[in-house]
A and B are shown apart, each in its own frame.
Chain A
Amino acid sequence: MDIDYVAEILEGSPLAMARVMTWLENEDERARSCMEKIYPHTGNAYVLGITGSPGTGKSTLTDGVTWQLRNKELTVGIVAVDPSSPFTGGALLGDRIRMTRHSADPGVFMRSMATRGYLGGLAQFTRGAVKVLDAGGKDFVIIETVGVGQDEVDVMRVADTTCVVLVPGLGDVIQSMKAGIMEIADIYVINKYDRPGADQLFAEVQFRVDQDSSIKDRSWVPPVIATVAVEGKGEDDFLEAITAHRTYLEQSGKLLEKRRNRIHEETLQMIHHELFRIIRERLTKDSRIEQMVEEIMNHKLNPYNVVEKVVDEWLPASRLK
């Protein structure tokens, strides 16, 4: 049974989309030619990133936004990332549980992805999965990151609008003033607003937003939205904020700028990944890396001259400057 995966993806076939995502995850060679062919058909979906600490309600909010979008008859693709075990490589992917009401809706495609050791809050091939959904005709693609700490900010490099979800009880005002996760938000969501301390957190985040306005030139001031996701409260405000940010990006020309930066970064990253893959493969194939390790252990070599040697060997052109 031969399937034309490219044609099927462009028609939105879930089977084809799912399979190519698997190929991406496995770095299967079949992924590449598919991705090349679907690439011209990407760039139409609006990409929303939802990030926050574990248990803040990212999946439930994703479910809520999806519901709102479906009510407007927009189609939705979801990529939800959960962590892989650093010990066994296995993963328990639990985001689907919060989204069961969409599971029989053909307008929603939801894929769980394990990080497989990739840091930064996403999986290595989350970007690729987003493109597959985009080419498959989804109006919106929502990326739900793994539960993050302070510094996993990759989602902002993939999403058009980045939403940071916070809940009361995790820290004082200084936490909200720090760099990293707190500065990537286009929209702040204070979820579990029925819990004690929610008002205070709201004020602290608003304080940060106000500070930012005096520190940097900001044509977009991130709104702070209060939600109780399990009850669906605040979902409509959330969607309104997303729509407002999208309008802002489109009208200011920032969307194009953002996407240009994304292509720049992504291209470099892909080159990096491919070069590394090739060199790693060659070094491991004839156990050369093991010999090098041995010699470094015995102080005959050191990692610095090994790097130079390896780069010189595989990329002699780099020394011709």
Chain B
Amino acid sequence: MAEKKIKIIVAKPGLDGHDRGAKLLSRIFAEAGMEVVYTGLRQTPEMIVEAALQEDADVVGLSSLSGVHNYFFPKVVELLKAKKLGNVLVVGGGIIPLEDIPTLKKLGIAEIFGPGTSTDTIVGFIKANVKSK
């Protein structure tokens, strides 16, 4: 069997044009040996989940800087489960107030990475928590 690659969708849900971070992370994930599907801006949860489905993604990374995370992040988790993709690891980042994080985690977002998180931490977390298929 050939070496397995981690496939990750990097997506920006909602009306948010700030994608420097998402683009940089896409590069970082690729440098870490992952196969990264960057979906671009202004994605609906349905679009993100459809991408995860068709790409058979292991991970979905959501980035939000516009304050919509409390709606969009759990919605993505919910739709993934509805499509029998409950095994997909969902992580988030961007500008997320600390007090929102416990709720997001309870709703199935595995981890939230705020500004200043070292990229090693993010890559390490994903590699340690990705599930085999």
Q: Which residues of A contact B (CB under 8 A)?
A: 1, 14-15, 17-19, 21-22, 25-29, 84-85, 88-94, 96-97, 100, 103-104, 109-112, 114, 116
Q: B110 within 8 Å of A by Cβ?
A: no
Of the candidate stretches B38-46, B91-99, B100-108, B111-119, the one touching chain A is B38-46
Within B42-58, the residues touching A (CB, 8 Å) are 43-44, 46-47, 50-51, 53-56
B50 touches A104 (CB 8 A): yes
| Inter-chain contacts of A85 with B (CB < 8 A) | 30-31
- Chain B residues with CB under 8 A of A94: 38
Cβ of B25 to closest chain A Cβ, rounded Å? 11
Tell me the bound Cα distance from A103 to B52 in angstroms.
Answer: 11
B32 touches A103 (CB 8 A): no
> Judging by beta carbons under 8 Å apart, are B133 and A92 in contact?
no
Taking a contact as CB atoms under 8 Å apart, the answer to whether A91 and B30 are in contact is yes
CA distance A268 to B17 in the complex (A): 49
Whether A18 and B38, one on each chain, are in contact in the complex, defined by CB atoms closer than 8 angstroms, is: no
Q: Which residue of B lies closest to A98 (CB)?
A: B40
For window 34-76 of B, CB contacts with A under 8 Å fall at 34-40, 43-44, 46-47, 50-51, 53-56
Instruction: Let me know if B3 and A90 touch, CB within 8 A.
Output: no
Q: Is the CB of B2 within 8 A of A96?
A: no
Q: Does B29 contact A19, Cβ atoms closer than 8 Å?
A: no
State which of A84, A90, A114 has its C-beta within 8 Å of the C-beta of B31: A90
Q: Judging by beta carbons under 8 Å apart, are B1 and A29 in contact?
A: yes
A-B complex: 5 closest residue pairs judged by Cβ atoms: A90-B30, A18-B56, A97-B40, A27-B2, A103-B47
Q: Does B27 contact A (CB under 8 A)?
A: yes
Q: Mark B15-36, 1 if CB is under 8 A from A, else 0.
A: 0000000000011011111111
Q: How far does the alpha carbon of A92 sit from the alpha carbon of B35 in the complex, in Å? A: 6
Is B83 in the interface zone, CB < 8 Å from A? yes
B54 close to A18 (CB less than 8 A) = yes
How long is the Cα–Cα vector from A22 to B133 in the complex, in angstroms?
9
Contacts A27-B1, A100-B47: A90 and B54 contacting too (C-beta < 8 A)?
no
A-chain residues with CB within 8 Å of residue B51 when the two chains form the complex? 96, 103
Chain A residues with CB under 8 Å of B26's CB are: 92
Q: How far is the CA of A103 from the CA of B37 in the complex (A)?
A: 13
> Which A residues touch B55, using CB under 8 A?
18, 96, 111-112
Instruction: Tell me, rounded to whole Å, the shortest Cβ–Cβ distance linking B38 to chain A.
Output: 6
- Chain B nearest CB: distance from A82 CB in Å? 9
Q: Find the A residue at minimum CB distance from B11.
A: A96
CB B85 to nearest CB in A, in angstroms, measures 8
Q: Using A21-B56, A89-B33 as known contacts, list a sample of 5 further A-B pairs with CB atoms less than 8 Å apart, ordered by residue number in A.
A: A25-B2, A26-B4, A88-B32, A104-B50, A112-B37
Instruction: Please indicate the chain B residues that have their CB under 8 angstroms from the CB of A116 in the complex.
Output: 2, 5
Interface CB pairs A-B, < 8 A, 11: A25-B2, A26-B2, A27-B2, A29-B1, A88-B32, A88-B33, A90-B5, A90-B35, A96-B40, A96-B51, A104-B47
User: What is the CA–CA distance of A27 and B85 in the complex, to the nearest angstrom?
Assistant: 22
Query: CA separation between A16 and B32, bound complex, in Å?
Result: 28
Complex CA–CA separation, A29 to B2 (angstroms): 10
Cα-based distance from A27 to B5 in the complex (angstroms) = 12
Q: How far is the CB of A90 from chain B (nearest CB, A)?
A: 4
- In the bound complex, CA of A276 to CA of B33 (Å): 25
Chain B residues whose C-beta falls within 8 Å of the C-beta of A15 in the assembled complex? 53, 83-85
How close is B88's CB to chain A, nearest CB, in angstroms?
Answer: 12
CB distance from B95 to the nearest CB of A (A): 23
Residue of A nearest to B48 (CB): A103
Given contacts A22-B56, A85-B30, A104-B46, whether A91 and B4 have CB atoms under 8 Å apart is no
Bound Cα distance A23, B106 (Å): 32
In the complex the two chains form, what is the Cα distance from A116 to B3 in whole Å? 10
Contact among B27, B38, B54 with A110 in the assembled complex (CB-CB below 8 Å): B54
Q: Which of A21, A22, A100, A111 contacts B43 (CB 8 A)?
A: A100
